[in-house]
Amino acid sequence: MGKNRFGVAVAVAFLALIHVSVSIPFVMIHGISAECSDKTNSNFPRLLTNLSGSHGFCLEIGNGKSDSWLMPLSKQAEILCDKVKNIEELRQGYNIVARSQGNLIARGLIEFCDNGPKVYNYISLAGPHAGISSVPWCGKGIWCVEADKLIEKDIYTEYVQDHLAPSGYIKIPTAITKYLQSSKYLPKLNNEIPNQRNATYKDRFTSLQNLVLVKFQNDTVIVPNDSSWFGFYSDGANQPLLSAQQTKLYTEDWIGLKTLDVAGKVKFVSVPGGHLRMATSDIVKYVVPYLQNQPSSIQRLNREKKETLRH
Ligand SMILES: *[C@@H]1O[C@H](CO)[C@@H](O)[C@H](O)[C@H]1NC(C)=O
Ligand SMILES: *[C@@H]1O[C@H](CO)[C@@H](O)[C@H](O)[C@H]1NC(C)=O
Ligand SMILES: *[C@@H]1O[C@H](CO)[C@@H](O)[C@H](O)[C@H]1NC(C)=O
Ligand SMILES: *[C@@H]1O[C@H](CO)[C@@H](O)[C@H](O)[C@H]1NC(C)=O
């Protein structure tokens, strides 16, 4: 009898513990020319935590800023895959907020990371998902000398592909054959190569609960800015610009974007402002609700309750 009551008390305490810990954590992935310790990227996860009540943090890759330019994206995604698998807090699943180039690493994490923890909601801010047709400006960092030299060379050579991160998502509409043959990242990520489409990447991307694609109306870094919604130029020319729904990636559903959209899980959000310049009111409206994540918390709680009852 006494032993039984003790068991019940333990079970109740355990359920209470699960209840307070249901808020799903989030990770933030920064963009190019940035690092977790800079002002913007250290403040942003804190702001999101303050607004949502969910814990989150920025995940760094290598040494930050210069690696964001010079390390190929496949390697960057691999590093994050290893990282998330070793973070205890993320074991039960997590949400992702990614900025600019960080979105291609985020999608690498979702699509390529074998045995990684589950990703529930993915909020993409200014992601160059369908590629960009010109290289962003490096600026004045010392590594920019190297980056600039690489940009001047043929972007689809093996050397540039292996040493300049943005070369992984530069898609020159008039050089599609070369792009499909020699670009080492985006064609794989978008399942673009006809006889090399991998159903696992699609399954994983399709298992997201929500995909929020935020496009910035005055974005001059992501060219075309519609790439943040998976829109891009048609093959062969800089005209016409196709909306996401007009691209083959969507109509033939290479990565599950259409499946997700038909299921009502994709939010196409357009906000005023330049690259990544998001008003707090828009953050509250379009980002925060997906970090609070009620439905999945409840599902998770039910699942854990069932597991508890089984034991
Ligand atoms: C988050 O909230 C803390 C505590 O109220 C505050 O000190 C901090 O400035 C806030 N940070 C951001 C980025 O909003
Ligand atoms: C597809 O990707 C998965 C996961 O990375 C991998 O295990 C599998 O071998 C790939 N399939 C093909 C046909 O390449
Ligand atoms: C954003 O894309 C639209 C086309 O969809 C274009 O009309 C507009 O000029 C672009 N904005 C900027 C700042 O380039
Ligand atoms: C967007 O760009 C236009 C034209 O340059 C400018 O008039 C407008 O103020 C900009 N809006 C925002 C929100 O940055």
pLDDT tens for the 311 residues of the chain, in order: 455 666 656 555 554 444 444 689 999 999 999 999 999 999 999 999 999 999 999 999 999 999 999 999 999 999 999 999 999 999 999 999 999 999 999 999 999 999 999 999 999 999 999 999 877 777 777 778 778 778 777 899 999 999 999 999 999 888 899 999 999 999 999 999 999 999 999 999 999 999 999 999 999 999 999 999 999 999 988 789 999 999 999 999 999 999 999 999 999 999 999 999 999 999 999 999 999 955 444 445 555 555 555 55
Domain count, the chain: 2
Please indicate, yes or no, whether residues 88 and 121 belong to a single structural domain of this protein: yes
* Together in a domain, 61 and 194: yes
* Closest-approaching ligand to the CA atom of 40: 1
Given this model, what pLDDT does residue 26 score? 98
Q: What spacing in Å lies between the alpha carbon of 123 and ligand 1's midpoint?
A: 21
Contact between 275 and 216 under an 8 Å Cβ cutoff? The reply is: yes
Measured from the alpha carbon of residue 273, the closest ligand is: 4
Q: pTM of the prediction?
A: 0.87
Residues near ligand 4 (Cβ within 6 A): 218, 272-274
Ligand 2 centroid distance, CA of 306 (Å): 32
User: Same domain, yes or no, for 10 and 34?
Assistant: no
The CA distances from residue 290 to 190, 224, 265, 283, in Å, are 24, 26, 11, 11
Whether 32 and 177 map to the same domain: the answer is yes
Peptide bond into 25 cis (omega under 30): no
Phi, psi of 94 (to 5 degrees): -160, 170
Among the bound ligands, name the one nearest to the CA of residue 202: 2
pLDDT value of residue 63: 94
Report how far ligand 1's centroid is from the alpha carbon of 228 (Å): 29
Q: Is the CB of residue 197 below 6 angstroms from any atom belonging to ligand 2?
A: no
C-alpha 293 – ligand 1 centre gap (Å) = 21
| 238 and 183 in a common domain | yes
Domain extent, residue 214, equals 27-292
The minimum-distance atom of ligand 1 relative to the CA of 43 is 13
The whole-number pLDDT of residue 145 equals 79
pLDDT score recorded for residue 120: 97
202-237 burial code (b ≥16 CB/10 A, e <16)? bebbbebbbbbbbbbeebebbbbbbbbbbbbbebee
Asked if 100 and 221 touch (Cβ cutoff 8 Å), the reply is yes
Q: At 91, list the tokens.
A: 């074991």
pLDDT at residue 217 in the model: 97
Query: CB 60: neighbour CB atoms within 10 A?
Result: 18
Which residue has a Cα nearest atom 12 of ligand 4? 273
Q: Are 12 and 76 in the same domain?
A: no
Residues 308 and 286 in one domain: no
- Report how far ligand 4's centroid is from the alpha carbon of 273 (Å): 7
Whole-angstrom Cα distance, residue 185 to residue 201?
13
Q: Which atom of ligand 1 is nearest to the CA of 44?
A: 13
Same domain, 157 and 300: no
What's the confidence (pLDDT) of residue 40? 97
157 and 256, same domain (yes or no)? yes
Q: Is-contact 167 144, C-beta < 8 A?
A: no
Residue ID of nearest Cα to ligand 1 atom 2: 50
pLDDT value, residue 13: 53
**pLDDT at 18 (0 to 100):** 46
Do 55 and 9 reside in the same domain of the chain?
no
Is 53 close to ligand 1, i.e. is its CB under 6 Å away? Answer: no
Shared-domain flag, residues 50 and 71: yes
Residue 245: its pLDDT value, please? 98
Question: Do 46 and 75 belong together in one domain?
Answer: yes
Task: Please work out, in degrees rounded to the nearest 5, the angle formed at the alpha carbon of residue 193 by the alpha carbons of 187 and 197.
Answer: 100
For ligand 4, atom 11: residue with the closest CA? 273
Protein residue whose Cα sits closest to atom 5 of ligand 1: 50
Report how far ligand 1's centroid is from the alpha carbon of 214 (Å): 24
